[in-house]
Structures are given as structure tokens and as C-alpha cells.
Structure 1
């Protein structure tokens, strides 16, 4: 994992696809820190890659703490943060989220373990207010296992419901009865929330200059969700949208161009032997 510690440098969050553009505009690569930085006097040209503040405006890093099932209402499908912001801004968000969490899961404290297929992933915490407004309140770093529990419907759809249940029990030190009751409550809440149309509020992001694309209308979301559900009866049990076919690598890792491994580390000049 990157260990950016030199506070005298202005570090940048540069997606791999934009490394050549950043280099052309003056960005330099620090081999030891494995990160791009802006030399003195070039910060204006490189502003698009400036790291985001570790606490976003209005964010509550205590909100939604711990591990729990957090199902997305069907009326909110296709309105997640990733679908509303540019790939560059999503990368900036991911880098910041992982970095401020110390590259550990904020639910169980676990670290990335590529051998076990466990990575770090970004997840949104929303608060649902009167007036049917869905407000982004926090972005949290979760490991693959905790993220699977959070989207328990997808875990069930993928045939991993038992594994997700086991992880929920272990992390929260619950018995099976308590965990199953929590899951049942989460699905009941999902049904209640899915009966309403929600307006997305991501002011937390737009306040720091992140542009958001206009999400699908409530009618468009419901139509798309109905089509998906009608084409796959199993999704009624999942209470989640289908998995996103585009899988993002962990922060600062990229798809292995050789195809031999899932991810490979780029050191700024060449592909390294670090794989995942």
C-alpha cells in the first residue's frame, strides 16, 4: 500500500488512465511513496488531481458505524455516487477514503488480503429524511467481506448468504438468531423505503467541486428496476440491483495487462511483480 508520509510535498490522486496527461503537465512520480506529486509552481496545472479533504463538508464519520445490512431501496437503484460522478472523481474519492482509514476496513479492522480475495471498497452511508430526500452522510471503507454483508441481498443472490451471515455473526459477536432477526428487519425496512421515490442529495460532494451527472428520474429508475426484477425471479429475494459488471481494482492497483492475475502494481514507469 502507498505510504505517503512527506508532508512537504503536494501529493496527487492520479488514475492510471490519466498518468500520461499528469506527467505531461508536470506531475512527478515518487518511487518510494508510490505516488504522484506536484512540483512547486505546477499546482494550478494539476488541480484536477488534487486530493480531496479527509472530511467532506457535512460528512459525519460516526454515522452508520459498525457492520449491518444496508439494502438499497429499489426506487433508488442506479443512483449511487459512482454512477453520478466522473471516473476521475470516483478514483479521487476512493483514494481519499482508503487513505484516511489507514487502509483498513472501518467495520472489522481487517486489511487487504489479495490471496484470500479480500480488498478494500468504498461504500455510501445515506440518511433518509422526511420529504423523501436521500442524503449522503458518509463514505466508508469496507473490506470485501463486510461489503458483502452490507449488500446481503447480493450475497444471497451469489450463493454466499451463509458466508455473509457467518461474517456478520463473527464481527458483531452475535448469535445466529440475533443476526437473522437483524437481516429480517433490514428487508422489511427495504420494502418500506422501496415504496417511496427518493430525491438524491450529494451536496457533500458538490461542495468540494465534484460535478454530478443528473441521475435517472424516479419513473426511469422504477421502470428499469421492474424490468430487471421481472427478468430474474431470484432478484426479488436479493432486494438489490444486479452486480455491477465493471469491477474496480483496489486503490493504486490496476488490471493486469498480461491477464495472468487480477491486479498488478504500476510503479510509474513499469509493471512490477506485485500482483493480486
Structure 2
């Protein structure tokens, strides 16, 4: 803690290191990360540091900074990993890592085994039943586990994800549980509709890539496998 404030980890791309340093950010060589020591109130309106703040520290944001955001069951498997060529997906996810300085865009943290993972940001048109890709960002494994709440439940990691959900948002466990329960209810509603389509125009425009010719078939095959695994998991729990 410096000057009464906990240091804030910053998401600084490597090619922007000099700008962060010039603005007063401190480089910690042991953590391989820039930190801001003066509290958010000490960052001027025009400082480049504002752009590097993780979401939970940004003064223009309010909780929830992270929440469960689950894909409707009929769209399980409809993701960039399945629909793009391996090299195109690698370029997309690595760009997200680079832009975040290999830190989590939500909390600024990193994982114990690997620093960050790529999370697809989906928006949902609940009238026309369209899942629209809005971007790809870097998240630490813990924040990513909150986003993929169903997977955390299936792998026995729900309680850890619940505690993380509460901590990042500054909530009690009761508030976090309410958020998770509401997200599950919303997911069940969306999963009750089977006519969903998937729009990945964002990645096509930003990176100039196209889905593979067999992308639809690959996604559908993955979806069927994931549904089968989910059913097996439920059956095992009932035994």
C-alpha cells in the first residue's frame, strides 16, 4: 500500500509502456506489471492511465463488473474456436491478450498457471433470438469461471466462483447468489428457445477472417457433444 491506497494493477500493452511510465505508473519487474499507486482519484481526466484501468477500478463503471453470462444451450459449441481456422482464432485471442498487457480486463489479475484466457463478449437479441459477437477480451481464469457459470457448476467449482463474484463486485455472498440465480433463470429462458442464430460479423470485420466452410457442422457436432456431457453429469448427480 502506497500513500494509503492499494496499488492498482494496470492493463498496459507492451507497446504503450513508455506512455504509462511517463504518466506516473510504476513498473514492478517481479510481477511484470505496471501499477498505479495514487488511487483512482489521483488520475487526471486526460491521463492515459485511465485507459489501462481494469473495469472494477474505472470511475465510470458500477457493479456488476463481472457476472455469469451463459450461452443458450442450442448455441453451445458456436464459438470462435470451433468456427475459425486455428491460426485465425489464435490471432484473435492473442490480440486480446496483447491489448490487455496480459492482465485481466475486469480485475487486473492473472492466473497461477497461465495469466489470461480469451472470453467472447456476446450480446443477445431476445426478440429475434440472435447471439451477436461484440468483441473478445482477456480475463483471468477466475473471472472467466464466473462468466461460464454452468461449466463451473459442472466441474464442482461453483462455490469458488461465487466467492470470486462477490469479491470482484464488492458484494456479500447473498448478493452474489442472487445475481447467479437470476443469471441461471435467464439462461433457462433463453435455452427454452431453439431458433437462435449466431452473428460473428465483428471478428470478420476486425480481423478480415471468415468462418471455415464446415463451421456450422463443426459447431453443431460440438453442441451435441456438450449437451450429452451435461445430461450425463446430471444423471451422475441423481444417482
Normalised TM-score (structure 1): 0.57
Q: CA deviation at 1:146?
A: 0.6
Instruction: Tell me what 1:193 maps to.
Output: 190
Q: CA deviation at 1:94?
A: 1.4
Q: CA deviation at 1:220?
A: 6.2
* Partners of 1:75 and 1:225 within 8 A in 2: no
Number of positions where the alignment pairs a residue of Structure 1 with one of Structure 2 = 178
Which whole-Å deviations, capped at 9, do the CAs of 1:160-192 have from their partners, x for residues lacking one? 211111111111000011100000001001111
User: In structure 1, what is the Cα distance between the partners aligned to 2:236 and 2:133?
Assistant: 25
In proportion to residue count, which structure has more helix? 2
Partner of 2:122: helix, strand, or coil?
strand
Instruction: Tell me what 2:172 maps to.
Output: 175
Structure 1 residues 235, 141: closer, same or farther in 2, change over 3 A? farther
Unaligned runs of 5+ in 1: 7-61, 238-276
Instruction: Tell me what 1:203 maps to.
Output: 201
* Partners of 2:162 and 2:176 within 8 A in 1: yes
Unaligned runs of 5+ in 2: 1-11, 18-60
Match of 1:138 among 132, 135, 141: 135
Q: CA deviation at 1:78?
A: 1.0
Normalised TM-score (structure 2): 0.65
Instruction: Tell me what 1:159 maps to.
Output: 156
User: In structure 2, what is the Cα distance between the partners aligned to 1:65 and 1:206?
Assistant: 29
Instruction: Tell me what 2:234 maps to.
Output: 233
* Partners of 2:68 and 2:180 within 8 A in 1: yes
* Partners of 1:78 and 1:216 within 8 A in 2: no
Alpha-carbon RMSD across the aligned residues, in angstroms, is 3.0
Instruction: Tell me what 2:120 maps to.
Output: 124
Structure 1 residues 102, 225: closer, same or farther in 2, change over 3 A? closer
